[in-house]
Amino acid sequence: MTRTDIFNSLKDILWQIRPSIDQSQVSEDSQLVRDLGLDSLTVMLLSLAIENKYGFRFEGAPQFKSVGEVIDHIEKVCQ
């Protein structure tokens, strides 16, 4: 799975959790809270969806700030 595949999958997950997100405006630099408007509940839903999609469990609560950080973590865990 390439970084682009993960990015596109993550955009789909974000849209499922928060349909008001314009996928064309999401970049790796997009901040989850500031730019995409996620709150603690939607961050938790995002975490659960990522766990289900990629078959791993986060240890503790994820502290990601940007889409790129999420992609970095998925790449590291799924190598």
67-77 and 40-54 helices, crossing angle to 10°: 30
The string over 13-30, giving b where at least 16 C-beta atoms fall within 10 Å of a residue's C-beta and e elsewhere, is: bbeebeeebeeeebeeeb
| CATH number of the domain enclosing 7 | 1.10.1200.10
Q: Which residue range(s) make up the domain with 65?
A: 3-77
At 13, phi and psi to the nearest 5?
Answer: -60, -45
Query: How much is the pLDDT for 13?
Result: 97
At 66, phi and psi to the nearest 5?
Answer: -130, 165
Continuous H helices in the chain: 3-17, 40-54, 67-77
Number of domains the chain contains: 1
Each residue's pLDDT tens digit in the chain (79 positions)? 899 999 999 999 999 999 999 999 999 999 999 999 999 999 999 999 999 999 999 888 788 999 999 999 999 998 8
